[in-house]
């Protein structure tokens, strides 16, 4: 028995010695602070959705990064203006690409026309405030500091000047990538997507220049949740592009300041997810959580053509607050993977009765609008009430929701169109020769809003240019 104990003790001693030696070797190998720097270069910076070219197998270097802070007016959604605070003139800020071992010499400039001091906190930095303590800069000034890239991963950067939440909420965030030694595996396309939540004095779609609302921000009551700074950043002509057979890598961040993102691509499964932007890789993922101030790297191969839809799967944010993007994939069909067939029959997910929207009495405001004003205002109303079902260009969803584009149903009978918005619609209808049998809920809109949204529809997508007035709507409502 004593002999067995002695043997076990010897084996344990050898194991511990080997383990200690192995850990020592591992620690030595991963002491990235000692990676030598060779030469110097100027960092390529890009605005979203683009990313700089991959690092590849280049050696660690002294990398010079120059980033300018700009306060500027932009468009949140059609007709809604907002004053963004930006790193490099875009929301999110310009993408910074480095590799482990790089020594970054960072120059931060605050444009003379800006109103406020700012700084930068890079989550990739090991040091006080992530660089914030060394980078506070007043308008018309510049400041520099340096840091060593120690940990590979995808990291958020943001302004950390008080009140920090306000600076972040106005768009002051972006991503910095630290590639591992030897670089990331090559893919066909890479894109930069970052979510943010915005808080405005007016509600979603309210026209004009909107100011930041601190009370809403504190209560976390976002008016807009968007990708890349505005509602239209990644849709229609701004959609991401891909081809069948390509592998796509998305660098996805969440600037917050408040909301967690449930990032999902409708019509795809993520082959790989670098969880929270780090080394851990998860596979075959449908939706990945990205915390405020966090990130993820997602990769997937596109196998069939069509439009993939990027969303925050907290789904009202996607269809009612703007967290929606598109990736248009071109190429040949593959019916072994996706047949494209529509199942026969009618499925009414909300039951067979017309659904009623929550009733809240709207005070009618009489405005003498021109036709052009009414059409423009109708676009914002369409975006928040109609787009999810009838789609951004009025094309509808085949066999489910009828098209509004070149619609004989709309153009042949204006009263039926008005009634559908006011009172809802149930039962089979024929639009452009196709039969539809879904349920449309009645909309809680004022007479002016109904006129505006119908004028937008009638004056786009090949329809007959009808212009309705609030009086026309009032007349139908009375009947």
d(CA 119, CA 305): 44
User: What is the predicted pLDDT for the residue at 17?
Assistant: 38
Looking at residue 22, its pLDDT comes to 39
Give the position of tokens 């500091």: 145
Closest CA to 111 of 132, 141, 74: 141
Exposure class string for 21-45: b at 16+ Cβ within 10 A, else e: eeeeeeeeeeebeebeeeeeeebeb
- Taking only the tens place, the pLDDT of each residue in 69-117 is 999 999 999 899 999 999 999 999 999 999 999 999 999 999 999 999 9
CA distance 215 to 222: 11
- CA–CA separation, 167 vs 479, rounded Å? 51
Give the highest mean pLDDT range of 76-80, 122-126, 351-355, 453-457: 122-126
What is the rounded CA–CA span in Å between residue 252 and residue 227? Answer: 10
Higher pLDDT, 29 or 464: 464
**Section 324-347 average pLDDT:** 80
Give every CB contact of residue 388 below 8 A, 6+ residues apart in sequence.
Answer: 319, 320
Which of 90, 230, 112 has its CA nearest to residue 172?
90
- Look at residue 360 and tell me whether its pLDDT is greater than 70: no
For the chain, domain boundaries: 34-179, 189-330, 395-478
Question: For residues 78 and 88, is the Cβ–Cβ distance under 8 A?
Answer: no
pLDDT for position 197: 98
Q: Do domains 34-179 and 189-330 have the same CATH topology?
A: yes
Q: What is the pLDDT of residue 347?
A: 47
A 10 A CB-CB count for 336 gives 8
Could you tell me the CATH superfamily of domain 395-478? Cytochrome c-like domain (1.10.760.10)
Q: Which residue has the tokens 């239209």?
A: 232
Q: For 189-330, CATH number?
A: 2.60.40.420
The residue length of the chain stands at 479
pLDDT at 352: 47
Helix (H) or strand (E) holding 143: strand 142-148
- Specify the pLDDT at position 368: 83
465 pLDDT exceeds 70?
Answer: yes
How buried is residue 397: exposed, middle or buried, by Cβ count under 10 Å (0-12/13-18/19+)? Answer: middle
Please give the Cα distance from 225 to 231 (Å, whole number): 8
Cα–Cα distances (Å) from 422 to 127, 320, 357, 363, in that order, read: 59, 20, 11, 16
- What order do you get walking across the sheet with 324-330 strand by strand? 240-243, 324-330, 306-312, 261-266, 287-290
The pLDDT score that the predictor gives to residue 10 is 45
pLDDT, residue 12, reads 41
- Domain covering 34-179, topology: Immunoglobulin-like (2.60.40)
pLDDT at residue 13, rounded to an integer = 44
pTM of the full structure: 0.73
Identify which of 220, 234, 143 has the alpha carbon closest to the alpha carbon of residue 192: 234
Rounded Cα gap, residues 416 and 425, in angstroms:
9
Q: For residues 155 and 277, is the Cβ–Cβ distance under 8 A?
A: yes
Block residue for tokens 């004028």: 455
Looking at the DSSP assignment, which residues form a beta bridge with residue 83? 73
Write down the H helix ranges in 30-53.
none
Residue 348 has pLDDT above 70, yes or no: no
CA dist list (Å): 262 to 206, 288, 370, 443 = 26, 6, 42, 28
Distance between CA atoms of residues 98 and 277, nearest Å: 14
411: pLDDT strictly greater than 50: yes
Asked whether 298 and 189 are in contact (CB, 8 A), the reply is no
Which is more confidently placed, 221 or 2? 221
- Res. 475: pLDDT tops 60: yes
For residues 229 and 44, what is the distance between their CA atoms, to the nearest angstrom? 21
Distance between CA 475 and CA 465 in Å, rounded?
20
Return d(Cα 353, Cα 348) in angstroms, integer: 9
pLDDT at 160: 97
Predicted confidence (pLDDT) at residue 315 exceeds the cutoff of 80 = yes
Q: What is the pLDDT of residue 343?
A: 53
What pLDDT score was predicted for residue 385? 82
**Do 95 and 192 contact (CB within 8 A), yes or no?**
yes
According to the model, what pLDDT value does residue 103 have?
98
Average pLDDT score, the chain: 89
* pLDDT, tens only, 258-308: 999 999 999 999 999 999 999 999 999 999 999 999 999 999 999 999 999
Give the C-alpha separation, 64 to 144, whole Å. Answer: 10
Which alpha helices (H) appear in 271-402, and where do they start and end? 316-320, 371-385, 387-390
């Amino acid at each position: 028995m004593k002999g067995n104990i002695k043997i076990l003790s010897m084996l344990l001693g050898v194991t511990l010695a080997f383990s200690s030696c192995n850990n020592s070797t591992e620690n030595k190998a991963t002491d990235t602070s000692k990676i030598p720097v060779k030469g110097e270069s100027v960092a390529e910076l890009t605005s979203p959705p683009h990313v700089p070219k991959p690092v590849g197998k280049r050696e660690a270097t002294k990398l010079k990064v120059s980033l300018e802070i700009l306060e500027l007016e932009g468009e949140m959604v059609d007709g809604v203006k907002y004053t963004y605070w930006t790193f490099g003139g875009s929301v999110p800020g310009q993408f910074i690409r480095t590799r482990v071992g790089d020594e970054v010499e960072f120059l931060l400039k605050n444009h003379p026309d800006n109103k406020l001091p700012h700084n930068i906190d890079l989550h990739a930095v090991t040091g006080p405030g992530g660089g914030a303590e060394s980078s506070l800069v007043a308008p018309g000034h510049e400041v520099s500091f340096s840091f060593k890239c120690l940990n590979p991963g995808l990291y958020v950067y943001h302004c950390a000047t008080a009140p920090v939440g306000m600076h972040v909420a106005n768009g002051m965030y972006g991503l910095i990538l630290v590639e591992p030694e030897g670089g990331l595996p090559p893919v066909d396309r890479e894109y930069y997507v970052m979510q943010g939540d915005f808080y405005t004095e007016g509600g979603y779609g309210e026209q004009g220049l909107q100011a930041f609302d601190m009370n809403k921000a504190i209560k976390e009551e976002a008016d807009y949740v968007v990708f890349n700074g505005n509602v239209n950043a990644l849709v229609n002509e701004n959609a991401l592009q891909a081809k069948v057979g390509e592998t796509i890598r998305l660098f996805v961040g969440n600037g917050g300041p408040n909301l967690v993102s449930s990032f999902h691509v409708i019509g795809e499964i993520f082959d790989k997810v670098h969880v929270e932007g780090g080394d851990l890789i998860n596979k075959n993922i449908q939706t990945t959580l990205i915390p405020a101030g966090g990130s993820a790297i997602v990769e997937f191969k596109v196998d069939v053509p069509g439009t993939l839809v990027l969303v925050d799967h907290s789904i009202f944010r996607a269809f009612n607050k703007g967290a929606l993007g598109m990736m248009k994939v071109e190429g040949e069909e593959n019916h072994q993977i996706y047949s494209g067939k529509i199942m026969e029959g009618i499925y009414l997910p909300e039951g067979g009765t017309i659904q009623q929207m929550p009733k809240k009495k709207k005070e009618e405001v009489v405005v003498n609008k021109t036709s052009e004003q009414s059409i423009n205002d109708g676009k914002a109303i369409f975006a928040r009430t109609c787009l999810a079902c009838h789609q951004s260009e009025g094309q509808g969803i085949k066999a489910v929701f009828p098209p509004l584009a070149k619609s004989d149903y709309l153009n042949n009978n204006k009263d039926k169109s008005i009634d559908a918005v006011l009172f809802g619609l149930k039962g089979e209808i024929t639009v452009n020769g196709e039969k539809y049998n879904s349920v449309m809920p009645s909309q809680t809109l004022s007479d002016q809003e109904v006129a505006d949204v119908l004028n937008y529809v009638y004056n786009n997508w090949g329809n007959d240019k009808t212009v309705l007035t609030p009086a026309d709507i009032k007349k139908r409502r009375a009947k």
